Every structure is written in structure tokens, then in C-alpha cells.
Structure 1
Amino acid sequence: MDQSTASDVLTVHGGTALSGEVRVRGAKNLVPKAMVAALLGHGTSVLHNVPDISDVKIVTGLLEAHGVSVTRGADPDTLVLDPASVEAASDAAVEAHAGTSRIPVLFCGPLLHRLGRAFIPDLGGCKIGDRPIDFHLDALRSFGAVVEKRPEGLLILAPERLRGTHIRLPYPSVGATEQVLLTAVLAEGVTELSNAATEPEIVDLIAVLQKMGAIISVHNDRVIRIIGVDQLGGFTHRALPDRLETASWACAALATRGDIRVVGANQGEMMTFLNVFRRIGGDFEVDDTPGEPSIRFWHSGGPMHALALETDVHPGLSTDWQQPLVVALTQAQGLSIVHETVYEQRLGFTEALNRMGAQIQLYRECLGGSACRFGQRNFLHSAVISGPTKLHGAELTIPDLRAGFSYLIAALAAQGTSTVHGISLIHRGYEDFEAKLSALGADVELGQPA
């Protein structure tokens, strides 16, 4: 077991039903990308509903390293971004601010337009499967960029103005779609992107770019068409709420037989999840109060139901919803089947759940109605969950962001005490989650148990 500092360990005393209210702010999968988009503008941008998470801090550091002024607005969840003095950052500064984040790759298009140069250090991110940047590099080359490999990373150059192109992604990658959008808006001519991702956060990024002056249309069959313009301005935008954090709290309510109201959550982006939540045996109530929407989630009181799930790109069941749902399904009666089609190694986190008392068997076959990219590639990407099983406390080390919060859900549902190492990973996408847990009645404390 890796040794962790006290501030990176959370002790969880399980067995308490969570009850109360938490608030979600802007989506982790939108806010940092909207901040990067501000680089494209000749004017100040204002972004509302910004969460206090480490990914926002990383992008803030990277923007400031490139001369962008990033300040808090009148409200603490508002950022004001002024790119008037954009300048090249040293490769060392980029690497220092980036840490293990994969965000720097999305700076390429904006920096090529502003400076003709971008640097990508070795990239980190969650270890949940193959997440190559080949899609990104191929797209940038298609626009006319030149990629030079160096020992410390990749240097991307634009000898002349980038030009529109036709790109078909081999898979609807969210990151590659963002890359194309952030590059195409100022490229000369028309760009057509086929097999694009269409997640709500992508649509919200398109809304940000349109406010800046971009011309972007979303067509049927995952086709996005961008007409390049000569100049963009700033934007004022309120980020859509984080549907992935919302689902995590919903699953915490279900697994602990609790009752949690998530303030700031919208029904629209949650519909696929809400259907699954209800089928398992959870219940929810939507409040559409203007300016203060919320969704209340609770365990309905009866037995939870096993079911078969497949993850997919939007509008399918999000892969980021899969892990907290798996924890909830350990408490369902019968055999549940989960087929993961997005990240081939995302089910690896179940080994720790089995040590807590769950009965989860992984398979290399596609246990679902849809064939996927992993069926013949020897990856353990399907799971059969037998329940209900009593969970007990354990010592856990977090492998990635969503698995990390899922371990917390399991620890909260379990009898006994769990020690969870590596909680700094959770801060990448969950704002102030320790205080939220305490507000819901969870018995948690930073550091090792006394």
C-alpha cells in the first residue's frame, strides 16, 4: 500500500444513511474547456458557475503562464478572463502547471492561432484505458500544423494560418471533438467534423464559441460544420451543471438508503441516468424553480432491482455514471450485467469492491446487445454483479476520479471503517466533497483513524 500524507487520506465510518442537501456547480467537463476558449477572443470573457476544483486551478495556472489575466468576479463562482497580453510560456512552465492533467492538449489550437506555437508535455490523467492523443495530433496536422517530437514532449507549430478541413473521427471522442472545435473556429475556410461527440458539455462549449462570434452548426448523424472567422470576441456564459457529480450523489443516496437533494441539477441532461435510477429502485423529484433547480434522490424503501446496463457515447448511458451505479447494484437483488464500451479498463476498480464483500465477476466477452471495440481485444470490460451483498470496511487506494468517489460510496454503505488513500484525485472533479459529506451526516475525517 502506498504511503499517503494525512491530507490525502479520508477515514470513513460507514453504515449511516446520507440525508440532506448539496449543491453542484458547473460541469468539470465544460468549465476548463470554456476557460481555454477565452484564449481565442480579443476581449474579456466572464464565466459563471465555476466550481472550486483542481482542474480549474490547473487551467488558471496555464492561462496565467501564457499572459492571460484570470481574476474572481463579484461572485466567488465567477471568473473574469482577459487574454489581451497573450505570450509564449516556457516549456518548463507549461509542464509545471499541467502536472498530470491532459488539459494542455486543448491549448494547441488557440495557441497556434495566437502565437503560432504550442507545447504539450507528457500527459497524465486517469488510468482507465487507452486515451491516446493521436486523434488530436492527426486533427491538428489536417489543419496544417506541424508536430515535432522532443524528449520533453511535443512542439506544435503553425508555419502559416491554419485552414479548414474535413475530419472523420474513428470514434466519437469528446477530447478530439473539443480540439477540432477550438481549432476550426479561426481556421480559414470550412471544417466538417464527422462522427463527432455530442455530449451536453460539447453543446455548451459550442454555445460559448457562438457567443464569441463563431459560426457552428450541428447536423444529423454526428456531423458538426464550422465556418472559420477572422476574429472572435469575449463571452459571458453560465456553465451547465455537472451531471456526473449529480449522479454520484444520487448513487450515494441509493447505496446508503438515504435521501439527498442536489441543488443546481437539471433534469434535461440527466434523463438517461434518471431512467436507470428509477429502474434500480430509486426515486426522485424534480424541482424546476427558475434560477435554483434541484433534483431530490432517495431510496424508495423496497428491494433494489438487478438490471443490465451498457455504457455508450451520448445520448447513451455515460461511462462516468457506470462506476457509482455498479456500487449501488451490489445491493440489488439478483444478477446485474454491466457492459463497458467506452474505456476498456474502467471495470478494474471492482477488485477493491470484491475485497469489501461484493461479488463481481469480470469477463472479456461483450455481455450486452451491442458489439463494441473491445470484444476481440482481451480486455475485461463486462461485469456480472451478484447481490445483494453486505459490504465491510477496507483499506482502499483511489485509481481514478470516478472510481474514487465510487469507493467513497462503497465505504459509506459498508459496515465498519474504511481508509481511503489518494483523495486528492477526487478534488479534480468534486468541489469541497468532504464538507458536503459531513453536511449529509457522513462520519468522515481527514487522515488515518486514531
Structure 2
Amino acid sequence: MDRIAIIGGAQLNGTIPVSGAKNSAIKLMAASLLTDEPLRLTNMPRLADTRFLGKLLTRLGVQVTESDGPDGQQTLLHAPEITSGFAPYDLVRQMRASFNVLGPLVARSGQAKVSLPGGCTIGARPVDLHLQAIEALGAKIDLHEGYVYAQAPRGLKGAEIRFPFVSVGATEHAMLAAVLADGVSVIHNAACEPELVDLQECLNAMGAKVEGAGTPTVTITGVPRLHGATHAVIPDRIEMGTYAVAAAMAGGEVRLSNARPGLIDALLDKLKEAGAGVEETADGCIIRRNGQRLSAVDIETAPFPGFATDLQAQFMALMTTAKGESRIRETIFENRFMHAPELMRLGADISVSGGEARVRGVERLEGAEVMATDLRASVSLVIAGLVARGETTVSRIYHLDRGFERLEEKLGACGAQVRRIKGDGEAEL
């Protein structure tokens, strides 16, 4: 397996372009199942997760073509007909979000057999709310031998969908299913993340009638069919926040382009509080630190527009060398501090109790061999390695490849000493 090696101590100076959002792109790709006309997605990231979903969609009858167009990287998805409604475990298990093909399949063809996605290393993420939403829309749901069998031979019907708690994935899934339902559907206690707004804009460009995304109430008026469209994927706010933290950690000055800083206000406010410089620009922002040690600040994760759980691990890495003690409370996932022991291998002083971690800043980290446990944890170790004395080697980076495009290239262009070590032992500079 590949590893990433970082020699710490280099400041970051330069420009990092932010890619399209992974968490949005994979749901937009699933929307291609809803029409027999082509859906063209621009500003598309090239990631392991988008490749996984592309493989599954191909099995279902979608023609998936990647290319470089006038608007950058793009993916053309065309499903003239659904050739299979079966999504097997060996594909769905590779990425939980692929379970979201269930709703579009039932909405368009009236039936689907989709594997349950299985466990997740960062905690329980049940699909109960997904199934309740599809069932509320009139589908008959049966569970058998790890598979969901869903049928709606007469089509889905508009319904009131009330979630007992906020779920991004379930909200997206309900939207994807309801756009072809007969009648009006209202989703109550919907998630408000920007990716929901992006999905709404894409669906409406395809001829859907969706209102309210980004608020707790989303209303969908079903239409008989959708048509093709071209849609630009929103910039990745988690990638943007990750590189903002990396710049604050290493010092120097980094311009983040093709970015929307308003999507990570909660993080940028904390960076300012810690002592980093933040300046918004026409197409992003500039993060700078002149070498002065940052101050410890507390964070608590929360649904958007609060502090994103997907940035918690990165911020913990930042706090390992800050002056003072910071408290980090995780309220979204119950098992998302697995990066803490790996940061401690680099010399960090961290104690974890339940959903709270206390980070006492140290003067210096020391390079060591560490192991990624999930997507965001993997990049937190890279961030720590940027300042650790000597060499830090991060293994199991297939996690990282799921959500970060050309990470070594982007950091290296700003002066970081980072390289990928291929599985056969050869370094890729």
C-alpha cells in the first residue's frame, strides 16, 4: 500500500486551487439515474469515491465519461435506460454514499435491490431514516440477507417526511427520490448543509421543482420526468478548510482559489481567534501566519453553519503546538477521536474522555510512523507532519485518496516537502 512521507519545517507559500466538493459530487452523480438524457457535471474532483460510484453507476446502466473540458474536469453521465436495479455489497461497501442510488432507482424504474452499506469506522451511521423516507413516499421495503428490496410499481407518491434528527444523507436521499413522485413532498427537520443547496440547483436545472434547500423545510413538487443539464459542482468546503488549517500550522502565506470562504466561517473565526491572519479575496481567501505561535482555542462540532465535524481532526492537529490547552467536543459522531493516539505518537499531549478531547500544546512535534484510520484523520496526520521535526510517514492513505485530489502536488507547489511512497517502495515526487 502507498504511504505519504513528510519532512517537517517548511513554510507554505503559494496558491492552492480548491477542487469540487466530494460530498456533493457523489450525490449529483446519483441524480443521473433520474433521467434518460445526459447530465454533465463540471468542476468535478477525481477521487477514489467518485471512481467507486462511477463503477456502480456503470453496472446500473449509466455511461460514465470523464474528460477535461473548457470548464476544467468534467464527467458526463448518461443513462438512456436502467439496465439493472441491483447494487451488490462488493460495490456499496466501498462507499456508504453509494446507498443513495436506491431512491433514484425506485423513482425511475419502480424497483431496486441495494445492499446495506455495512459498518463505519467513525461510528454508527444507520440508514433507517433513508428507508423511512423512501417508505413514506409509497415504496414497499423489505430487508433480507443484508439487502434492501424496494418496490413502487405504480410510482412514488408525494408525502410529509419528518426526520427525528438532522441527517444530511437522508435529506439528500429523500430529495433524490421525491423529484419524480406524484404530488408534493415536504421534508421537515432537513439538513441545511451547502451540499443540499447544490443538489437542489442541479435537480432544478434538470427540470425538478425543489424549494427550501439550506433551510429546515424542503418542498418538492414532483414532475413526470427530468431532462439533461449542465451543472458546476460547488467548491469543497472541507478541502478548503483543510488547507487553511495546513497554512496556519506551517506558517507562511497561502491563497486558496476557487473557494467560498463563507462556507467555513466557523473555522475561519477560530483561526483568527488562534492568531492566524485571514483575508477574503474575490475567489477565495488568504491564510497567513508570520511564525508567531498560535493560541489554544476551544471548538465544538455542530451541523452547518457550525464547526464541521469533517474539520475536527485537522483542527486538533493545529492545536497540538498551540500555546495553552484547548478543548475539542465532538457532537456528531461518537467515535471520531481515533486520530488522537496517532497524533500522540508524534509527541502531542492529548487526553480523550467520551466526546471531549483536551489538547495541551507542546513546543514541538517529532516525526514518526503513523497510520490513518479514516479520511479526515489521515489528512490531520499530514498537517501535523508539516511541523514535526524529521520525517513523518503516514500509512493506509487509501483513506486520504477518497477525498483529497492531488494533495502532494498542491502542498508541494507551496513548498512542503511531501512525497508519496508507492507500494513497491519507490517514491513518487
Which interval holds the TM-score relative to the shorter structure?
Answer: over 0.9
How far does residue 267 in structure 1 lie from its aligned partner after superposition?
A: 2.2
Partner SS state of residue 148, structure 1: strand
**How far has the Cα of 1:259 moved from its partner?**
2.3
1:357 is aligned, of 341, 347, 351, to 347
The answer to whether residue 307 in structure 2 is matched with residue 333 in structure 1 is: no
Q: Which amino acid aligns with 1:301?
A: G
Percent identity between matched residues is 36
Q: 1:254 is matched with which residue?
A: 248
CA distance in structure 2 between the partners assigned to 1:60 and 1:52 by the alignment: 11
Contact 2:89 2:115 in 1 (8 A): yes
For residue 231 of structure 1, give the secondary structure of its aligned residue in structure 2: coil
Q: Which residue of 1 aligns with 2:291?
A: 301
Residue identity opposite 2:308 in structure 1: S
SS in 1 for 2:337: helix
Residue 351 of structure 1 and its aligned partner are, at CA, apart by 1.4
Matching residue within 86, 105, 109 for 1:115: 109
Distance in structure 2 (CA, Å) of the matches to 1:249 and 1:418: 18
Q: Is the 8 A contact 1:204 1:239 kept in 2?
A: yes
Q: What SS does the corresponding residue of 1:346 show, helix, strand or coil?
A: coil
**Who is 1:428 aligned against?**
402
* Matching residue of 1:441: 415
On the 8 A contact 2:276/2:288 being kept in 1, the answer is: yes
* Partners of 1:358 and 1:389 within 8 A in 2: no
- Cα contact 1:126–1:399 (8 A) shared by 2: no
Residues in 2 aligned to 1:342 and 1:278: alpha-carbon distance in whole angstroms: 24
Matched, 1:184 2:178: yes
- Whether the aligned pair in 2 keeps the contact of 1:101 and 1:125 (CA below 8 Å) is no
**Residues 411 and 219 (structure 1), Cα distance of their counterparts in 2 relative to 1, 3 Å cut:** closer
The offset of 1:182, in angstroms, is 0.4
* 2:11 is aligned with 1:11: no
Deviation at 1:342, TM superposition (A): 0.7
Q: Separation in 1 of the partners of 2:219 and 2:260?
A: 28
The aligned residue for residue 83 of structure 2 is 87
RMSD over aligned CA atoms reads 2.0
Instruction: Give the direction of change, closer, same or farther, for the CA distance of 1:191–1:109 in structure 2 (3 Å limit).
Output: same
User: Tell me, what secondary structure is at the counterpart of 1:273?
Assistant: helix
Deviation at 1:433, TM superposition (A): 1.1
Letter in 2 for 1:295: C
The answer to whether the aligner puts 1:144 opposite 2:138 as a matched pair is: yes
- Which ranges in structure 1 are unaligned for 5 or more consecutive residues? 364-379
Q: Which deviations, in whole Å up to 9, do the C-alpha atoms of 1:17-41 show, x marking residues without a partner?
A: 2222221121011011111112112
Match of 2:97 in 1: 103
Q: 1:23 aligns with which of 13, 17, 34?
A: 17
Q: Deviations over 1:187-207 (max 9, x none)?
A: 111111111101011111111
For 2:194, the equivalent position in structure 1 comes to 200
Q: Greater CA deviation, 73-82 or 423-432?
A: 73-82
Q: Secondary structure at the match of 2:338?
A: helix
> Which digits, 9 at most, give the CA deviation of each residue in 1:45-64, with x for residues without a partner?
11110011111111211121
* Structure 2 partner of 1:391: 365
The total of aligned residue pairs comes to 422
Q: CA deviation at 1:209?
A: 0.9
Partner of 1:400: 374
Cα distance change of structure 1 residues 245 and 126 upon mapping to structure 2, 3 Å threshold = farther
Residues 126, 261 of structure 1: CA spacing in aligned structure 2 closer, same or farther, 3 A cutoff?
Answer: farther
Contact 1:45-1:236 at 8 Å conserved across structures? yes
Shift of 1:90: 4.8
Q: Give secondary structure in 1 for the equivalent of 2:23.
A: coil
Structure 2 SS opposite 1:123: coil
**How far did 1:99 drift?**
4.6
In 2, the alpha carbon distance for the partners of 1:250 and 1:431 equals 16
Contact 2:366 2:388 in 1 (8 A): yes
CA deviation map 1:392-427 (0-9, x unaligned) = 112211111011101111112211222211111111
Structure 1 residue 139, shift from structure 2 partner: 1.3
Name the CA shift for 1:360/1:21 in 2 (closer, same or farther; >3 Å). same
1:196-231 Cα shifts (integer Å, max 9, x gaps): 101011111111111112112218961111111111
Residues of 1 paired with 2:160 and 2:86: CA distance?
Answer: 32
Does the aligned pair in 1 maintain the 2:33–2:104 contact within 8 Å? yes
Report the Cα distance in structure 2 between the residues aligned to 1:13 and 1:200, rounded to whole angstroms: 35
In the alignment, the residues of structure 1 paired with residue 387 and residue 151 of structure 2 have an alpha-carbon distance, to the nearest angstrom, of 51
2:53 to 51, 59, 65: 59
Q: Secondary structure at the match of 1:328?
A: helix
**8 Å contact from structure 1 (residues 17, 257) kept in 2:** yes
2:73 — aligned with what?
77
Counterpart Cα distance in 1 of 2:14 and 2:120 = 30
Quote how far apart the aligned CAs of 1:126 are: 4.9
SS class of match (1:419): strand
1:122 to partner: Cα distance:
4.2
CA–CA separation in structure 2 for the residues paired with 1:220 and 1:205: 10
Q: Deviations over 1:332-391 (max 9, x none)?
A: 21111111111111122111112211111212xxxxxxxxxxxxxxxx211111113421
Tell me the TM-score normalized by structure 1.
0.89
Deviates more, 1:202-211 or 1:40-49: 40-49
Change (3 A) 1:299 1:348: same
SS at match of 1:186: coil
TM alignment of 1:238-317, pairs within 5 A: 238-288=232-282, 293-317=283-307
SS at match of 1:29: helix
Q: Within 2, Cα distance between the matches of 1:279 and 1:247?
A: 15
Assess, with a 3 A threshold, how the Cα gap between structure 1 residues 221 and 211 changes in structure 2: closer, same or farther: closer
Residue pair 1:101, 1:124 contacting (<8 A) in 2 also: no
SS class of match (1:278): helix
